[in-house]
Amino acid sequence: MSRIGKLPINIPSGVDVSINGTLVTVKGKLGEMSQEIDSSITISIDNGVMTFVRESEAPSHRSKHGLYRALIQNMITGVSEGFKKQMEVIGVGFRANAVGQQIELSLGFSHSIILEVPSQVTLTTLTEKGKAPLVTIESFDKQLLGQVAAKIRSMRKPEPYKGKGIRFLGEEIRRKAGKSAGKK
Q: 74 in a domain, yes or no? A: yes
Helix axes 142-154, 59-80, angle to 10 degrees: 90
Q: What count of other Cβ atoms lies within 10 Å of the Cβ of residue 130?
A: 4
pLDDT at 184: 57
What pLDDT is stored for residue 182 in this prediction?
55
42 and 89: one domain? no
Distances in Å between the Cα of 31 and the Cα atoms of 24, 169, 183 are 14, 26, 63
Read off the pTM.
0.87
Say yes or no: 99 and 152 in one domain: yes
- Domain count for the chain, please give it: 2
102 in any annotated domain: yes
pLDDT per position in the chain (184 positions), as tens?
A: 468 888 999 999 999 999 998 999 999 999 999 999 999 999 999 999 999 999 988 988 988 999 999 999 999 999 999 999 999 999 998 999 999 999 999 999 999 999 999 999 999 999 998 899 999 999 999 999 999 999 999 999 999 999 899 999 998 999 998 887 655 5
Are the CB atoms for 156 and 142 separated by under 8 Å?
no
Residue at which a domain ends, from 80, 98, 130: 80
pLDDT at position 178 is 83
Task: Supply the range of the domain harboring residue 21.
Answer: 9-80
On whether both 88 and 157 belong to a single domain, the answer is: yes
